[in-house]
Amino acid sequence: MQETPTVFQRRIVIGAGVCVAAFLLVGLRLVDVTLLSGGGKAGGAGSAAVARADLTDRNGELLARDLPVKDLYARPKEFWDKAEAARLLAEATGAGEARLLRGFNTAKTPYVLVARQITPDAEARVMKLGLPGLEFENTAKRYYPGGRMTAQLVGTTDPDNNGLSGLELGLQPQLHRAAARGETAVAASIDARVQFILAHEVAESRKTFSARAAGGIVMDVKTGEIIAMTSQPDFDPNQRGLPEGDSRRNMMAQDVYELGSIFKIFAFTLAIEDHTVRLDEMLPIGRSFKIGKHSIGESHHMPAAMAARDVLAESSNIGTAQIALRSGGVRQREFLTRLGLLSPVKSELPETARPLYPRTQWGAIETATVGFGHGVGVSPLSFVTSMATVVNGGRRIAPTFVKQEQGADNRGAQVIKPETSATMRDLLRYVVTNGTGRNGDAIGYDVGGKTGSAEMPGSRGGYIKNALMTSFAAVFPAHDPRYIVMVLMAQPRGTKESFGFRTAGYTAAPQTGRVIARIAPLLGVPHLPPPARVADGRAL
């Protein structure tokens, strides 16, 4: 005979049933949160933001930082009136009313994204609405204190805090690892003070000469560190939109140009390295120089004959073509390859560009034109890197955007002889004291450099009439190089102050001199007293 359960036993069974039901409810809620709710929030909106460490300049100044913000989600089934809810939420957050209403009516998941990375003010407005079914999710938004000043260089992230461009993309693994280890920041090679000066001077000159675009680079010739880089037009990295006239493109790293006469540096370096020319040797110039059916001319009047050093100082195409032909196309191509000019430059910056050069035929006319910077296109960053090798004692260098240790010397293999490098430094100083680079000098800082004024190629072949790409590449101090400064201007126009001239000596060179005069003290470059002079003007 089966015994009737006691009251105590029945209570145990009831209690066990309640516990099972409670566990089931908890389990269902976990499924809802982790699978249904989570999947709804992720649907089309991405996953939670991954933490990134701060990005700072070499002195600890902030370039980029995560700021805590919130994403707003809604559960449409909770709304009494979906149309009214869409209208109110759109007014409070700035989201599109039509998108919200469409999402509320067609949602296949419990949650619909209302707005991402809303401000505290917007959060307060949403809370005042008193609508049911709203949830805030903590996330992060990248903030850029430098704004436009560092825009293309630092880059941006997407709404999920993944790097999209610039150092935000190139240094992303380091930023993630630093955050995971609890480290506060990753230090870039950039000096915010120098960056501000370079960006300011380039912007002012672009405005003065009504240039279509302009940019600049400052590089340490021994460590390869990029101290500053600017590209204009720029954009505001703190805003998602891109107003008309702004640009996210970094012209100094991801565009290639026929740089013209500054490329003559390499023709002279090769000639000096191979002893195919003497600097005091007289070269015939004339009005034109023929190579087969092609004729090479000058951009301005030249004497009938010039010493080789004056060919560079006065930027003679005809003289440089003759010097390049002595080297020959095979040797010229091999030399430019060793300098790294015929391959994309590699660095932490993801933006890069493939150079343009004669790939099938490299004959006499190609050798001559490449010698004075036509028929070959490289990025400004690639040019500066190769110029650094020329002036730093002849040793290979690679650009880096990460701060190096104090006293670091990252120079690699010997590409040219040290004595060739020394001769080129003297020659570049001569260009500034006696040639087209006079307006680029900064008294007391021993500047050496080269001007370049190249015709700009058109989209349909040929060249654009009266359109120049002007540049000035300078090294200082020339006797013991520490930094290179290069500035570039696309299609500048002459002004009253430049006597109507729009060539590099009147546009790019003066702004480079101003940049050097302002940044040299900050970089610890000693100011040299001007040379003493006797009554007839000769230096003692």
pLDDT at 50: 74
- The single residue listed with the structure tokens 């009147």 is 506
Query: What CATH topology corresponds to 195-519?
Result: Beta-lactamase (3.40.710)
> What's residue 529's pLDDT?
72
Phi, then psi, of 353 in degrees rounded to 5: -150, 145
Q: What is the CATH number of domain 54-188?
A: 3.90.1310.10
Helix (H) or strand (E) holding 104: helix 97-106
Instruction: Write down the pLDDT at residue 35.
Output: 41
Q: How far is CA 29 from the centre of its chain?
A: 49
- Indicate which residue of 165, 231, 261, 382 is catalytic: 261
Give the pLDDT of residue 277: 97
Question: At a CB cut-off of 8 Å and minimum separation 6, what does 26 contact?
Answer: none
The confidence score (pLDDT) of residue 36 equals: 42
DSSP string, 350-408: ------B--SS---HHHHHHHHTT-S-BB-HHHHHHHHHHHHTTSB----B-BPPPTT-
Q: What is the pLDDT of residue 13?
A: 58
Which residues of the chain are under the pLDDT cut of 70? 1-49, 530-540
Rounded-to-integer distance, Cα 416 and Cα 385, Å: 14
pLDDT at 16: 60
Which residues have C-beta within 8 Å of that of residue 512, sequence separation ≥ 6? 440, 449, 472, 474, 485, 486, 487
Q: Give the number of other CB atoms < 10 A from CB of residue 37.
A: 18
Residues in the chain: 540
Predicted confidence at residue 301, as pLDDT, reads 87
Give residue limits of the domains in the chain: 54-188, 195-519
Phi/psi of residue 56, nearest 5 degrees: -120, 165
For residue 19, the model assigns a pLDDT of: 58
pLDDT at 159: 85
Helix count (H) and strand count (E) of the chain?
18, 14
Q: Record the pTM.
A: 0.85
Is 165 one of the annotated active-site residues of the chain?
Answer: no
Helix 329-339 vs helix 264-274: angle between axes, to the nearest 10 degrees?
110
The single residue listed with the structure tokens 């109507």 is: 500
pLDDT at 34: 42
Residue type, 493: R
Q: Check residue 411 and give its pLDDT.
A: 95
Q: What is the pLDDT of residue 48?
A: 55
| pLDDT given for residue 12 in this prediction | 63
The answer to whether 258 and 469 have CB atoms below 8 angstroms apart is yes
Res 42: pLDDT = 46
Interatomic CA distance for residues 429 and 478, integer angstroms: 6
